[in-house]
Amino acid sequence: MSLFTKAEIRQINDCYDDLKREIGKRFDAERMEKVGKAFLFANAAHDGIRRKSGEPYIIHPIAVATVVARDLGLGATSVIAAILHDVVEDTDYSTEDIRNLFGENVARIVDGLTKLSGEMDTRQALTLKKMLMTLSDDVRVILIKLADRLHNMRTLESLPPLKQLKVSGETLYLYAPLAHRLGLYAIKNELEELSFKFKHPEDYKHLLYQLHDQEEKRNYLVNEFIAPIQLRLAEEGIECTVTHRLKSMFSIWTKMHTKGVTFDEVYDLLAIRIILKAKPNISEKRQCFEVLSLVTDIYPPKPDRIRDWITMPRANGYESLHVTVMGPQGKWVEVQIRTERMDQIAEYGFAAHYRYKDAPAPENELDRWIERIRDHLENSEYDAFEFLDEFKLDLFASEIVVFTPKGKTIKLPKGATVIDVAYEIHTNLGNKCIGAKINQKLVPPSHVLQNGDQVEILTSENQIPQQQWLSFITTAKAKSKVKNALRSEKKQHLEAGRELVEEAIKKHKAPLVANTIKKIIAHYNLNNKEQLFSEVGMGIIQLDDLGKILSLKSRNKFIKYWNITFRGKDKGIEIPGEEEPGEDATGLLDKQKPFLLKENPDKIAYSLAKCCNPIPGDDVIGYISSGDHVIIHKKICPKAEKLVASRSDKIITAEWTKFKKLSYLTRLNLNGFDRIGLVSDITTIISKLHSINMRSVKFDTHDGLFEGDLFLYIHNTEDLNILIGELAKVKGINKVTRVENLND
């Protein structure tokens, strides 16, 4: 007897039927039976349990299994593991039970997934580290984990807003890049779109409306562009589909924010994809280049804008031929040319190798990548947060290819230096690197490599890893190797220093106690004993006058350090020690409710982040720093995004109340065509708006163009938007943008 109602049982069965329809086409009877067994087992295990939304819990694992089968095209082992993925975590069954019932492979994957779950609110960086360690065991664990996350994002609606913000922040920060790295474009896009929707609901709605508004015009332009291509390809007997690739809403929005461009400017770019059915017996590469040549017969290509990812695929396996051509409307259009096989890889990445098979993928680029991660994990001792930062470098970077003297290719992130490539080849080569010969020229270790360089690393036995290398190294691998080397060197100095100090103290017959050490530290004006030991170890401090120091009577020298924080504008400096007792205790904030930003906060203080300079009306969040002090960031601030994803336990939602009295410094950047009277027109507009005061203006003109910075005191975004609207109307002004950074 089930604990659910009849209607709920029907819902469960419908959901399971959906999965069966998906896998029925390709699983044999034996596999279908195993899946059925897994369903019955999981269904009984989760019986009576509900999700936050109220629906039976079992709906979730079945939906995840459906994503695994449909969107990732994985085999029976993965589908069964997906159905069982929350059983060990949420019920009384153990991995051992799973092993007895479903075999070793399924149990291993479920075990991996169980280890990855757990409280996501604490240290997500640790989760990533765990995730990557699992990755090196069986990629299917990560693929199912991504499916799990995808379904959680699809059903995020039923969670409270703060939870939505955290989960989508984490998705954007960790899971989407990971999907990208694995080449799962479809899943990456959906994760990004959903995160965007929940993180910035207002912007999302607005953008949706704008896209809808442009649709008809868009379709017309696309058809006008592709019709001649389709005709020509048909004449040549080339079978293919030509589609219009819509930019995702998230990428449009990101571009608008990071590059400060308007919707029209981003949306203006057309992108077309030609997917051809490759003929047998002719290389796919040749067929793609033939299409390229037909396309460029019709539309002239932009010089230097042909990208050949077929001869040299990207590290995530992506293959395609890209060209930018001049379209009939006088606009650049990007055309991507690829075969159906390449398209599968483009959509599903490494999962494409697993699709419709139930075996691990053959040796490929992914293995190389995983090996890099494994290396990195084994070599790194530092904290998970630091690890995450560096790992992201590798996740996002675009790549260059360089050659060894023997012609072997090495893929590296863009911006990689001689040191990076040295460590990529071998740790010892990195440690001893003194420079390189590139295309017959000598270059220093910091030299940034160009695509196609042939690099010969030069070494010296006397070389050791240098601290300064850390300032130009770009790969996570090289960074962790250098840090480890420096750390062990430092440790050696420290140990040697400790021995020298202790010997010296004994020699002067002073007691070997903390007070003695303290006296020495004070004498040399150092911070702590570690610094003393390492400076002695390195020979910076000689301990010559130790006798004199130890004979001095200790004076009661007491220095108190104040932790000074700057709180808000015009608030002056507050010293924490002078706060009322109890204020410092955490827990005063109700994290479930939005933090209200008032003009005259009575008790709990907040300050506005210097990195993004929010003003009243901006979409903001709060970060709880020490002692319940809240720092307000704009939601789109990169630093805030990172905090939401990695320290979500310290994030609260925040709302502005009415702000009318205080003013905030804001910067606008203007550009356009210079003319007589322009500056006075601009200043007249500002002086007419009584709520805004100007602090300074800076204008630069050259060759008839001007660029200017306005620094203004402003109450809130409402007033700011009115001003921007007015300024945009001024003759000659091309663009008005708000600049977050007030400093340069």
Sole residue written with tokens 């992130």: 413
Backbone angles phi, psi at 588, to 5 degrees: -75, -25
Smaller CB separation from Mn ion, 80 or 325: 80
**To the nearest whole angstrom, how small is the minimum distance from the Cβ of residue 61 to Mn ion?**
7
Any idea what the Cα angle at residue 184 is, between residues 89 and 277, rounded to 5°? 140
DSSP for residue 175: I
- Please identify the residue of the shown chain whose CB is closest to the bound Mn ion: 148
Alpha-carbon gap, residue 365 to 317, rounded angstroms: 7
Residues in 158-217 that interact with Mn ion by CB under 5 A: none
Min dist. Cβ of residue 732 to Mn ion (A): 57
- CB 159 to Mn ion: min, Å: 14
Nearer to Mn ion, 116 or 632 (CB): 116
CA 22 from centroid of its chain's CA atoms: 33
CA distance 713 to 720: 10
Q: Which stretch binds Mn ion (CB under 5 A): 144-152, 484-492, 647-655, 699-707?
A: 144-152
Smallest separation (angstroms) from Mn ion to the CB of 142: 14
Region binding Mn ion by CB under 5 A among candidate stretches 137-145, 146-154, 273-281, 641-649: 146-154
With contacts defined by CB under 5 A, name the span among 66-74, 148-156, 174-182, 392-400 that binds Mn ion.
Answer: 148-156
Locus of tokens 């300079």:
613
Residue 148 vs 192, nearer CB to Mn ion? 148
- Measured from the Cβ of residue 664, the count of other Cβ atoms closer than 10 Å reads 18
Query: How do 270-276 and 332-339 pair as beta strands?
Result: parallel
Tell the smallest beta-carbon distance from residue 642 to Mn ion (Å): 25
Listing DSSP states for 3-65 in one string gives SS-HHHHHHHHHHHHHHHHHHHTT--HHHHHHHHHHHHHHHHHTTT-B-TTSSBTTHHHHHHH
When the beta carbons of 145 and 273 are compared against Mn ion, the nearer one is: 145
Q: How far is the CB of 151 from Mn ion (least distance, A)?
A: 7
What is the closest distance, in whole angstroms, from the C-beta atom of residue 404 to Mn ion in the complex? Answer: 45
Is 89 known to be catalytic?
Answer: yes
Alpha-carbon radius of gyration of the chain: 31
Residue number, 86 or 390, with CB nearest to Mn ion: 86
- Segment interacting with Mn ion, rule: CB under 5 A, options 25-33, 147-155, 432-440, 681-689: 147-155
Q: Is 148 in the site for Mn ion (CB under 5 A)?
A: yes
Does residue 143 touch Mn ion according to CB under 5 A? no
CA triple 112-113-114, angle to 5 deg: 90
Choosing from 8, 47, 55, 90, the catalytic residue is 90
Helices (H), 508-574: 514-523, 529-537, 546-551
110 is a site residue for Mn ion (CB under 5 A): no
Closest to Mn ion by CB, 116 vs 654, is 116
CA distance linking residue 500 with residue 279, whole number of Å? 77
Decide whether 138 or 148 has the Cβ nearer to Mn ion: 148
Give min distance, CB of 432 to Mn ion, in A: 48
Instruction: Give the residue with the Cβ less far from Mn ion, 148 or 453.
Output: 148
Among residue numbers 227 through 246, which ones bind Mn ion (CB under 5 A)?
Answer: none
Q: Using CA of residue 513, residue 517, residue 520, residue 521, what is the dihedral sign?
A: negative
Beta carbon of residue 148, minimum distance to Mn ion (angstroms, whole number) = 4
Q: Which residue stretch of 145-153, 195-203, 262-270, 410-418 sits at the interface with Mn ion (rule: CB under 5 A)?
A: 145-153
Mask for 246-285, x = binds Mn ion (CB under 5 A)? ----------------------------------------
Burial degree of 508 (CB within 10 A; 0-12, 13-18, 19+): middle
Whether the CB-CB separation of 157 and 374 falls below 8 Å is answered with no
Least Å distance between CB 192 and Mn ion? 20
Cβ of 446: how many Cβ atoms within 10 Å? Answer: 14
State which residue, 148 or 343, has the beta carbon closest to Mn ion.
148
What are the backbone angles phi and psi of residue 475, rounded to the nearest 5°? -90, 145
Region from 143-151, 292-300, 383-391, 414-422 binding Mn ion, contact rule CB under 5 A = 143-151
Q: Pick the closer one to Mn ion by CB: 53 or 626.
A: 53
CB-based contact 21:66 (threshold 8 Å): no
Residues 567-626 that bind Mn ion (CB under 5 A): none
Q: Is there a contact between 168 and 199 (Cβ–Cβ < 8 Å)? A: yes
Pairing of strands 693-702, 705-714: antiparallel
192 is catalytic: no
Residues 462-501, mask of contacts with Mn ion (x by CB under 5 A) = ----------------------------------------
Looking at 140-148, 236-244, 473-481, 729-737, which segment touches Mn ion (CB under 5 A)?
140-148
Which residue among 89, 367, 649, 740 is the active-site one? 89
Looking up tokens 């002073």 gives 510
Task: Tell which positions 36-95 bind Mn ion, by CB under 5 A.
Answer: 86
Beta carbon nearer to Mn ion, 135 or 144: 144
CB of residue 559 to Mn ion, shortest distance in Å? 54
Tokens (6 digits) for 465: 């890893």
Determine the size of the site formed for Mn ion (CB under 5 A): 2
Could you give the angle at the alpha carbon of 70 between the alpha carbons of 65 and 73, nearest 5°?
Answer: 95
Alpha helices (runs of H) in 306-364, residue ranges in sequence order: 340-348, 351-354
Residues 389-418, mask of contacts with Mn ion (x by CB under 5 A): ------------------------------
Which pair of tokens denotes residue 615? 């003003």
CA 65 to chain CA centroid, Å, is 26
Q: Minimal CA–CA distance to 587: which of 599, 562, 604?
A: 604
Q: How far is CA 402 from the centre of its chain?
A: 26
Return the active site residues: 89-90
Catalog residues that contact Mn ion under the rule CB under 5 A: 86, 148
